[in-house]
Amino acid sequence: GENVEQHPSTLSVQEGDSAVIKCTYSDSASNYFPWYKQELGKRPQLIIDIRSNVGEKKDQRIAVTLNKTAKHFSLHITETQPEDSAVYFCAASIQNYGQNFVFGPGTRLSVLP
């Protein structure tokens, strides 16, 4: 089955700097990759996703890149703000088969003022 790894497990950046979180997956059939943000004690919220027919997607300060050959994808947050502090999870799944998401272990991002 699918296995998703995520690095780093914790990340601290100064406000205004960029943050990058990387994930790798094992199943070459996976073709949908969402990223979720979870604040303490709250539900995960989808922040951006990418499908395998696209190499990059951007939404304001957030971008995701995908390298299908290497089977890795990354989340990029620019101009970080304190409210970006949270745990971020990547996930992988197979579109059109309705399969569940396999989540990475998470990255705890701290944005220092």
Partner 1 sequence: GAVVSQHPSWVICKSGTSVKIECRSLDFQATTMFWYRQFPKQSLMLMATSNEGSKATYEQGVEKDKFLINHASLTLSTLTVTSAHPEDSSFYICSARGDRVNEQFFGPGTRLTVL
> Residues interacting with partner 1, by CB under 8 A?
32, 34, 36, 41-46, 49, 89, 93, 95-96, 98, 100-106, 108
Closest CA to 60 of 84, 91, 88, 33: 84
Residue among 14 and 100 whose Cβ is closer to partner 1: 100
> Considering Cα of 33, then 37, then 38, then 43, what sign does the dihedral take?
negative
The least CB distance from residue 54 to partner 1, in Å, is 14
Q: Identify the burial level of 41 via C-beta atoms within 10 angstroms of its C-beta, where 0-12 means exposed, 13-18 middle and 19 or more buried.
A: exposed
Residue type, 2: E
The least CB distance from residue 42 to partner 1, in Å, is 7
Residue among 3 and 18 whose Cβ is closer to partner 1: 3
The least CB distance from residue 83 to partner 1, in Å, is 19
Residue among 6 and 80 whose Cβ is closer to partner 1: 6
Q: What are phi and psi of 83, to 5 degrees?
A: -70, -5
